[in-house]
Amino acid sequence: MVRPNLVLFVTIFLSANHPVTATGQNSCPETTPPPAQVDCSQAKLGFFTWPQSIWMDPTNTEFIDFAAHPAVRSLSCGGDFWFNVGDYSSAAEIKDSYRLLPFMRDLRASVRPDTQRSGRGVIYLTYGDTTAHDELALLQFIDTFFEWLLSLSKAEILEIAPIGISLDVEGSPPEMVFNSLVKLRAYKHTYLAEIPEEAFLIQHVVAGFPSPQGTKYIMELADSAVYLVYRSYMYDTSSGMNLSPANNILVRFRWFIMEQCEDCLSPGYQPRARVTVLVESDCNLYAYCGRLSFCAQSAGGITNVVDTLKIFWSELTISGLLTQERFDALMNKDSPYGIHNWIWSRCLFPPTVSGNFSDCGSNFEALAEGCRGRANLAG
């Protein structure tokens, strides 16, 4: 396959509807039949994963078995999934890419989401680079990714849709954000014109430190903006960590919506991207672990995660932070939230699920206790 030419595609893209000008800058064996009916439009918890063995190894069915478990499916059959396929060290290939299509087929068949987008999450394939910020590698990976994608037929893409590419390249310079998203938009516009717009989505992670220009490019060039909110609570009443509501998920999100996205509160502003929120479950965060990670909230389990996110979602408007008009323009109702990283978040489920994983149980609880002990420890 001949690799597409970026210069040509930038020209094509900038004639589209949203021009932006650069400024230079184990398994879970199922013994009980699954519930007869789950409203997947109300089961929206997504799971962010990292181990490539999840999809590369055909004998490794632990994630598919996990996602199909009734206790998991009832919370997440309409949620998004993220699977890592590349980084800056291997931009020229997706190793064992032939495994991706059968894996995604098996995942859809096991999770059984709705046919409508409101109850059918996105399967995102992720690219990671939070240290090197290697723009040439990222642009090369986009070529690599589309070579794989275009090896699929239209029917195969629609069978597993919606799917997408997610760029976990937090901290990239604004010009790197711009160049990669312009290239992706151009490729989507040219090569995927025969499939519905929602069948393939472009996602980019929003930086956790000030980068208003990079954020502007993400909001106006990506289809989805994902923001990792490092907070573990809305109202912490039982963990013993004495976490202040003045520093909760909503307050942290306020920084994003008021400082990071400079146009977001402007009436009438209609960005292309909609915002999805991720929370953390890693027990090995050091500074402020209890404040930042749901690992520390292990007593409440996964139910507490979902309940907390639902409260946050409702208080975006109830608190007055967003008017209904701003909420509708900015927030991703089809893909509202997810949790990072599955290696940890699976341990928040009851033993009927988490008991299938050797690193959960007492081992996880010991790490969670340590995380709680670092709730207010700076370093």
Helix (H), strand (E) at residue 328: helix 324-330
pLDDT of 166 > 50? The answer is yes
Domains of the chain, start order: 6-373 (3.20.20)
Give the least confident one: 8-17, 71-80, 247-256. 8-17
- For 320-363, the pLDDT digits (tens) are 999 999 999 999 999 999 999 999 999 999 999 999 999 999 99
Q: Which residue has the higher pLDDT, 142 or 378?
A: 142
pLDDT of 18 > 60? The answer is no
- For 172-208, the pLDDT digits (tens) are 999 999 999 999 999 999 999 999 999 999 999 998 9
Cα distance between residue 180 and residue 344, in whole Å? 31
Predicted pLDDT of residue 37:
85
Angle between helices 135-149 and 174-191 (to 10 degrees): 20
pLDDT of 15 > 50? The answer is no
pLDDT band, very low/low/confident/very high, at 65 (cuts 50, 70, 90):
very high
Neighbour-count burial for 289-304, b at 16+ CB within 10 Å, e otherwise: bbbbbbbbbbebebeb
pLDDT of 275 > 60? The answer is yes
Least Cα distance to 286 among 377, 362, 208, 359 occurs for: 377
Mean of the per-residue pLDDT values of the chain: 92
C-alpha distances in Å from residue 184, one per residue of 4, 111, 145, 180, 203: 11, 29, 10, 6, 10
- For 200-237, the pLDDT digits (tens) are 999 999 989 899 999 999 999 999 999 999 999 999 87
pLDDT band, very low/low/confident/very high, at 1 (cuts 50, 70, 90):
very low
Predicted pLDDT of residue 379:
56
C-alpha distances in Å from residue 98, one per residue of 86, 199, 250, 279: 14, 20, 41, 31
Going 81 to 10 to 169 to 101, the CA torsion angle's sign is: positive
